[in-house]
Amino acid sequence: MVLLGSTGSIGVNTLIVAKRYHIQIEALVAGSNIDLLNTQIAAHQPKMVVIANKADRYKVNHHDVRCGAQAILTLIEESQSQTIVNALVGYTGLAPTLKATTLGKHVALANKESLVVAGEFIDISLLTPIDSEHFGLWYLLDERPVSKLYITASGGAFRDWDIEKMKDATFSDALKHPNWSMGNKITIDSATMTNKLFELLEAKWLFATSKIDAVIEKKSIIHALAEFKDGSTTAHFAGVDMKLPIAFALKGEVNEEILPPTDLLGIGTLEFLPIEAERYPIWKIKEHILNNPHLGVVVNAANEVAIEKFQNEQCSFFGMSDIVLDAYKRFEDVKPQSIEDIIEIDREVREYVSK
């Protein structure tokens, strides 16, 4: 397989699973964590490596090192692997998903933005999501008639903060996720609930339904629930570990223990809470965007710029949501008809928000 985003949390766990099942790593793609990349190269002996910056090239212990976004697309074309694991972060991951699916390759997808931005133009049949929520939904559905699907949210770093205090929250405050260890962007998105909005959009494309919602479950033990037309509801319990969805994405079916069984007595009580727009302003557009999923490109572009502004202390924590909601209103009439349209809308939104 080819692994895009090898030094992130998904990439690291993917390599653990690949080693367990003796899956050969044809190529690794990483950003700027060269020390970890070199450790991975020594352990997995890939034929090719791609990194973000040419300036880091001399640091990489490999004979075939390529650099930049175009090199990733060329790598996918040249590779013999039929499985591409896309664990890149943000809009950067869209072009590799499109390239791989255009070539008929299977994509184990951890890059949420691919479906959020361009779900309408991607062959869903070639995707397997690496995501605990969507894996949980897939696990629950057994061709029984469903009335509604639910995914759960942890609530993010500020779920228990006083809302007045949240107004002064810093970038480092927002990175203190209570349950998961993830990269900066997804952790910030968890704090604003943008990540969960994105997961609803992903689920819309993956399961072809708008009858989906999210609730807060603080312990992150229940990842998804399916409400069936007969009135019953089933839930997917699993530990806080991404190796399970990764193993299924790579193997198709797994019949051995990947995680320890859920300790029901150890869990104790479980509580479900609503996602409230006062604490998570992005939730104001939930219903509208589920009915207008083509606007995902607007939300994603505005959100990526807003996070940069928050990190650079150019806006407040709630200012990020203000920026996204403003852009959403400004561009609510756009309707991309092609990938070229998406690229242009993305550019226009980023330019608007940056100003």
Angle (nearest 5°) at CA 230 between 210 and 209: 10
- pLDDT, average across residues 265-284: 95
The SS3 call for residue 49 is strand
- Write out the residue limits of the CATH 3.40.50.720 domain(s) in the chain: 2-129
Residues 307-333: pLDDT tens digits? 999 999 999 999 999 999 999 999 999
**Whether 3 contacts 31, CB under 8 Å:** no
Long-range contacts of 170-177 (CB under 8 A, 24+ apart): 170/317, 171/310, 171/311, 171/313, 173/317, 174/310, 174/317
Q: What is the mean pLDDT of the chain?
A: 94
Closest alpha carbon to 50 in 72, 70, 33: 72
Give the domain 292-355 fold. Answer: Rna Polymerase Sigma Factor; Chain: A (1.10.1740)
- Contact (Cβ atoms closer than 8 angstroms) between residue 224 and residue 149: yes
Q: What pLDDT, in 10s, does the model give residues 83-125? A: 999 999 999 999 999 999 999 999 999 999 999 999 999 999 9
Query: Could you read off the pLDDT of 20-44 as tens digits, one per residue?
Result: 999 999 999 999 999 999 999 999 9
CA–CA separation, 202 and 146 (whole Å): 18
Residue holding tokens 């942890």? 154
In this structure, the strands spanning 106-109 and 83-86 are: parallel
Residues of the chain with CATH 1.10.1740.10: 292-355
pLDDT tens per residue across span 33-78: 999 999 999 999 999 999 999 999 999 999 999 999 999 999 999 9
**Where are the alpha helices (H) located in the chain, listed in sequence order?**
9-20, 34-44, 69-78, 94-102, 112-118, 132-140, 163-166, 171-174, 184-192, 194-207, 243-251, 264-267, 286-291, 296-311, 317-330, 339-354
Residue 179, pLDDT score: 65
Superfamily of domain 2-129: NAD(P)-binding Rossmann-like Domain (3.40.50.720)
**Separation between Cα atoms, residue 202 and residue 134, nearest integer Å:** 8
What are the backbone dihedrals phi and psi of residue 214, each rounded to the nearest 5 degrees, phi first? -135, 150
Mean pLDDT of 336-353: 98
State phi, psi for 182 to the nearest 5 degrees: -135, 175
Are 12 and 246 in contact, with CB atoms under 8 Å apart? no
Residue 213's SS3 state is strand
Of 322, 8, 335, residue with least CA distance to 186: 8
Better-predicted residue by pLDDT, 317 or 241: 317
DSSP-assigned letter for residue 337: -
Q: Looking at the DSSP assignment, which residues form a beta bridge with residue 28?
A: 3, 49
